[in-house]
Amino acid sequence: MSQDNRRFLLAERPTGPVDENTYDLVREPVPGIDEGEALVKVKSISIDPTNRTWIGEEPTYLPPVAIGEVMRGLGLGEVIESNNANYPVGALVNGLTGWQDYVVTSDQMPLMVVPEGVQASPAQLLGTLGMTGCTAYFGMLEIGEPKEGDTVVVSAAAGAVGSVAGQLAKMKGARVVGIAGGPEKCSFLTDTLGFDAAVDYKADDWRAQLKAATPDGIDVNFENVGGEIMEAVIGRLNVGSRMVLCGLISGYNDTEPPPGPRTFGNLLIKRVKLQGFIILDYYPRFGEAIRELSGWVADGSLRSEQTVVEGFEELPNALNMLFAGQNTGKLVVHISD
Amino acid sequence: MSQDNRRFLLAERPTGPVDENTYDLVREPVPGIDEGEALVKVKSISIDPTNRTWIGEEPTYLPPVAIGEVMRGLGLGEVIESNNANYPVGALVNGLTGWQDYVVTSDQMPLMVVPEGVQASPAQLLGTLGMTGCTAYFGMLEIGEPKEGDTVVVSAAAGAVGSVAGQLAKMKGARVVGIAGGPEKCSFLTDTLGFDAAVDYKADDWRAQLKAATPDGIDVNFENVGGEIMEAVIGRLNVGSRMVLCGLISGYNDTEPPPGPRTFGNLLIKRVKLQGFIILDYYPRFGEAIRELSGWVADGSLRSEQTVVEGFEELPNALNMLFAGQNTGKLVVHISD
């Protein structure tokens, strides 16, 4: 275990994928703590599409990470030293740790304490039982509102959020179609997760596949990707359908905003309700979601899938893996036990 | 007064604006009526953006008008002969009369009877106290939900729906910005209708005007137009804002679907609720809207503006006038007293 605090600081804003010039990897002394503070040793870091949006020029729902600042990221750690009764030594904590080995927390910079007795791996706590699971939970159940017999289409369906969102729609009795890249991920969706159909967006005939998989149109779109696949999905939305706009990952590495969907008019014709959605708005209700999700994971009705990359130094590469779709389920980087 | 029934039949689908080949103007005998039917003499016909969408190749929210069929359109008429107690002779009726002098109505093909005692011109009954007013009423009040102090942006604001929608938002205490073409319409919005600001989309500096008129961003967009102005408006939507997607008139004459807004991602970042909206879905509630709108027109709190074109033969030209923005308020064609 390193006695230094390794940190990835933002060195320059990438114009496409992150590369070797994007970050400086520095070693600093482990920080000391003042009154009211606690020291957290980070164990695993979550890799999310939003990491890339935080290092662009433009503010999104949070201000951009400044040049020279530690890279913003979600992580899971353990309290190893404490002057704060809310953070007892040994507690697991979850939240914006940043890409570093150690972080200081306090009541002003809170991390969420994982309730004692929760039996889950760090990857699960960052995934299905963390922000990722909450995103699928509130997005699908409160905005998408799938009903018995609805056709639900989830993009990036083999990814962290999509794989949970699709399973939740299945639990509500919907017919679920997942869009994913490559035959392996597609079989994972239908054979392992029990989706009704899968569309391989890397296949030449993806449009025909989408049409065949949604013969009665689409009642709910849980959108994670954007681009021309979303355009085709919007074109097949039914009257009164719902569109959960959760992510537009296909454009996050672009330097110019991508073109909007040419099927935009169908949102009018079909009286679609589209709701843009950022999970942080639901923060006060995470507890209720995680309780319910834990129950489903425990009784086997919800499968939690992870891809774990080994080693702190791999953080930037892991972010590119995410954009290349090289993960199945939640992608995390394991940095210490 | 003609004793023939003049009718515009669809001859071919236009590829852009309608022209002299789009319709055949025919003269047929005035139709007779059977049991349960009533004969209506049409007095005024409403010109609406949706007329153009009904003669394209593709079904929209209604099937396309077939070649050889009478042009679909909203109109106001008077019952002149009746075998149906629901349609007494002398009653005014409002609904899908088509572009013709006479139409037969029945309980199977209903027109809405204007309640006795309503004091309004045919143009008002087709406009502020008809489908147009209902569109502004439900779209703005039930979907847009403007609150005290909100910034509301209405496009095609000097048009039939926009002029009413903006006034309703003013009544709710919002700051209202209208987008319209040319200095005359812009002065009409601010000086006559009491909007807080107007943006002239025909001016070179319309982007700067929009920015200056919405210094705190936009909380409600009542969208009638689409295209690059909508794209700019979406780019200025605030967190938690609402977008009433009522019309996309700028694209209705296009042969290919227009590009979608490049600012689509802002719908996600700002957690916008966008709702596509077709007024026919609210048909059962027209009564309540028209009662309330009539009261506001009567007490002077709502101004009802019309542009009246004279003569049945002018119907196709009037449709092109609408797309060229040559009307202020409701555009109707007067065909008989």
Of B256, B265, B276, the CB nearest to A269: B276
**Among all residues of chain B, which has the CA nearest to that of A61?**
B269
User: E-assigned strands of chain B?
Assistant: 4-10, 23-29, 38-46, 75-82, 92-95, 102-105, 112-113, 151-154, 175-180, 197-200, 218-223, 237-245, 273-276, 306-310, 330-334
How far away is chain B from the Cα of A290, in angstroms, using its nearest Cα? 23
Burial of B15 (0-12, 13-18, 19+ CB in 10 A): exposed
Residues A69 and A172 in one domain: no
Asked if A272 is an interface residue toward chain B (Cβ–Cβ < 8 A), one would say: yes
Is B274 in Cβ contact with A274 (below 8 Å)? yes
Is B257 in Cβ contact with A262 (below 8 Å)? yes
How far away is chain B from the Cα of A132, in angstroms, using its nearest Cα? 17
Chain A residues near residue B247 by CB distance under 8 angstroms: 268
Of B245, B251, B268, the CB nearest to A276: B268
- Grade residue A115 by pLDDT with cuts at 50, 70 and 90: confident
- Grade residue B115 by pLDDT with cuts at 50, 70 and 90: confident
- Region A59-66: what's the mean pLDDT? 91
Question: DSSP label at A201?
Answer: T
* Domain assignment of residue A172, yes or no: yes
- Region A186-203: what's the mean pLDDT? 97
Chain B residues near residue A269 by CB distance under 8 angstroms: 60-61, 276, 278
- Region A207-236: what's the mean pLDDT? 97
Asked if B161 is an interface residue toward chain A (Cβ–Cβ < 8 A), one would say: no
Residues B148 and B58 in one domain: no
Q: Where are the alpha helices (DSSP H) in chain A?
A: 49-53, 122-126, 131-138, 160-171, 183-187, 206-213, 227-235, 265-269, 286-298, 315-323
Residues B207 and B170 in one domain: yes
Cα B321 vs. chain centroid, distance in angstroms? 14
The predicted structure's pLDDT at residue A2: 52
Residues A165 and A214 in one domain: yes
User: pLDDT by residue (tens digit) across B21-42?
Assistant: 999 999 999 999 999 999 999 9
Residues A21 and A75 in one domain: yes
Is A263 in Cβ contact with B251 (below 8 Å)? no
ipTM attached to this prediction = 0.90
Rounded Cα distance, B332 and B337, in Å: 13
- Grade residue B3 by pLDDT with cuts at 50, 70 and 90: confident
Is B263 in Cβ contact with A262 (below 8 Å)? no
Of A231, A246, A264, the CB nearest to B261: A264
**Among all residues of chain A, which has the CA nearest to that of B278?**
A271
Chain B residues near residue A267 by CB distance under 8 angstroms: 245, 274, 276
Residues A121 and A145 in one domain: no
**Among all residues of chain A, which has the CA nearest to that of B280?**
A271
User: pLDDT by residue (tens digit) across A286-333?
Assistant: 889 998 999 999 999 999 999 999 999 999 999 999 999 999 999 999
* Domain assignment of residue A299, yes or no: no
Chain B residues near residue A273 by CB distance under 8 angstroms: 273-276
Q: In chain A, how many domains are there?
A: 2
Residues B151 and B274 in one domain: yes
How far away is chain B from the Cα of A16, in angstroms, using its nearest Cα? 17
Answer with the residue of higher pLDDT: A284 or A72: A72
> What is the span of the domain harbouring residue B118?
4-127+304-334
Extract the tokens encoding B182: 């040319």
- Grade residue A1 by pLDDT with cuts at 50, 70 and 90: very low
Residues A81 and A115 in one domain: yes
Count of C-beta atoms within a 10 Å radius of residue B298: 11
Pick the residue of A246, A263, A269, A280 with the most B CBs within 10 A to test the interface with B by mutation.
Answer: A269
Rounded Cα distance, B138 and A97, in Å: 46
Asked if A146 is an interface residue toward chain B (Cβ–Cβ < 8 A), one would say: no
Length of chain A (residues): 337
Q: Is residue B1's pLDDT more than 50?
A: no
* Domain assignment of residue A289, yes or no: no
**Among all residues of chain B, which has the CA nearest to that of A239?**
B61
User: pLDDT by residue (tens digit) across B39-83?
Assistant: 999 999 999 999 999 999 888 889 999 999 999 999 999 999 999
**Among all residues of chain A, which has the CA nearest to that of B265?**
A248
**Among all residues of chain A, which has the CA nearest to that of B240?**
A276
If we measure between CA atoms, which residue out of A79, A81, A50, A55 comes closest to residue A66?
Answer: A55
Looking at this protein, which amino acid is placed at residue A32?
G
Chain A residues near residue B248 by CB distance under 8 angstroms: 264-265, 268
Q: Is residue A238's pLDDT more than 80?
A: yes
Q: Residue A177 in contact with residue A190, Cβ under 8 Å?
A: no
* Domain assignment of residue B110, yes or no: yes
Rounded Cα distance, B163 and B168, in Å: 9
If we measure between CA atoms, which residue out of B51, B75, B91, B90 comes closest to residue B312?
Answer: B75
The predicted structure's pLDDT at residue B156: 96
Looking at this protein, which amino acid is placed at residue B222?
F
Answer with the residue of higher pLDDT: B140 or B61: B140
Is A61 in Cβ contact with B269 (below 8 Å)? yes
Chain B residues near residue A258 by CB distance under 8 angstroms: 262
If we measure between CA atoms, which residue out of B272, B294, B282, B284 comes closest to residue B144?
Answer: B272
* Domain assignment of residue A329, yes or no: yes
Residues A167 and A208 in one domain: yes
* Domain assignment of residue A287, yes or no: no
Q: Which of residues 32-71 of A touch B (CB under 8 A)?
A: 60-61
What is the CATH number for A136? 3.40.50.720
Arithmetic mean of pLDDT over chain A: 95
Residues 6+ apart with CB under 8 A from B142: none
User: pLDDT by residue (tens digit) across A30-48?
Assistant: 999 999 999 999 999 999 9
* Domain assignment of residue A286, yes or no: no
Beta carbon pairs, A and B, within 8 Å: 101
The predicted structure's pLDDT at residue B116: 77
Is B245 in Cβ contact with A267 (below 8 Å)? yes
* Domain assignment of residue B183, yes or no: yes
- Region A228-241: what's the mean pLDDT? 97
The predicted structure's pLDDT at residue B2: 52
Asked if A253 is an interface residue toward chain B (Cβ–Cβ < 8 A), one would say: no
Residues A55 and A175 in one domain: no
What is the CATH number for B68? 3.90.180.10
Is A226 in Cβ contact with B265 (below 8 Å)? yes
- Region B239-247: what's the mean pLDDT? 97
Residues A228 and A310 in one domain: no
**Among all residues of chain A, which has the CA nearest to that of B242?**
A275
Q: Is residue A335's pLDDT more than 50?
A: yes
- Region A50-59: what's the mean pLDDT? 92
Residues A325 and A212 in one domain: no
Pick the residue of B54, B264, B271 with the most A CBs within 10 A to test the interface with A by mutation.
Answer: B264
Arithmetic mean of pLDDT over chain B: 95
Is A261 in Cβ contact with B264 (below 8 Å)? yes
